[in-house]
Amino acid sequence: MDEPSTSFGQSNLSSVQSARTLSPVGASINTSGTESSSIEFRDDSSQKNRSQEKGIPTHTKVTDETLTDDATDDTTPYSSLSGYQKYLFIQMELCQRETLRDWLSKNVRNRYRIKVFNYFEQILDAVIYMHDKDYIHRDLKPSNILFAMNDSIKVGDFGLVKQNAATKHSAPQTDVQGSHTSEIGTSFYVSPEQEAGHRYNERADVYSLGIILFELYFPFSTVMERAKVLGDVKSNRRLPKEFKENLHNEAKLVELMLKPISDRPSSSEIKEIDAFKQMKDQAELNCDFMLLKF
């Protein structure tokens, strides 16, 4: 069952449409006799099955505007369609408009420990996967973390992603030729080594993740309070006294993640740290426990 598409936006080169469907879909475009393009989503189950048999990815599709459903055959070479205008469709998962930054702002006084931990673990899993593929995000922050339609976490904005020059699974190599030195990232979340223009590796993302972890468990009442507290955490690695007293394991893990790069755990090592394991146990045992403003 398909639903009409909704336009998110348009530029000179492309447009973004949203649509929900219960079956695999393809898309066709109609530009004849109209000032703007219209997009029609159609059932494309047979096309998808044929493509999968040939090992062709199904999340992208090139379609000619003059072809009908009967004429779109996998065996037709696109190079033979000279004179026709072609369009590239990239089909991606639809996410909510709300980011983790929005969620943090809206949920200052009603954060449940189980939900906060689940969000952090999902972000961590995404970072572990990315690091395992030898990539560094370099700009992890709440505004780059999205919610899928089922409320699961998605890490987005890969515009600054860089392939890691250090050997996979090796110890931090902050002075090895080929490590990154460019100053990239967002103030509160960027690691000290990035900010100073020193060499860094994938553990720069762990620092950013540590700030996000702290922000998940320590609600801020005002923008000014957030700026003051995060500024102190970043400059002096000093966590608020009440945070350390009330959330021992969370504070301990944040402190480990904010250590100098040579002492900082890797993303995959975080799950083996006792503080993380105890956080997980406490979240599951006290699922109704609400994090209150200290």
Q: Going by C-beta distance under 8 Å and a sequence separation of 6 or more, which residues neighbour residue 248?
A: none
Task: Give buried/exposed letters for 113-128 (b at 16+ CB in 10 A, else e).
Answer: bbbbbbbbbebbebbb
- Report yes or no: 291 and 112 within 8 Å, Cβ to Cβ: yes
Q: Going by C-beta distance under 8 Å and a sequence separation of 6 or more, which residues neighbour residue 54?
A: 74
d(CA 157, CA 177): 27
* Catalytic entry in 139, 175, 205, 263: 139
Counting other chains too, the contacts that 265-270 makes at CB distance below 8 Å and 24 or more residues apart are 265/203, 265/206, 266/131, 266/202, 266/203, 266/206, 267/124, 267/127, 267/128, 267/131, 267/202, 267/203, 267/205, 267/206, 267/209, 268/128, 268/131, 268/132, 270/124, 270/206
Q: Is 70 a catalytic residue?
A: no
Residues with a known catalytic role: 139
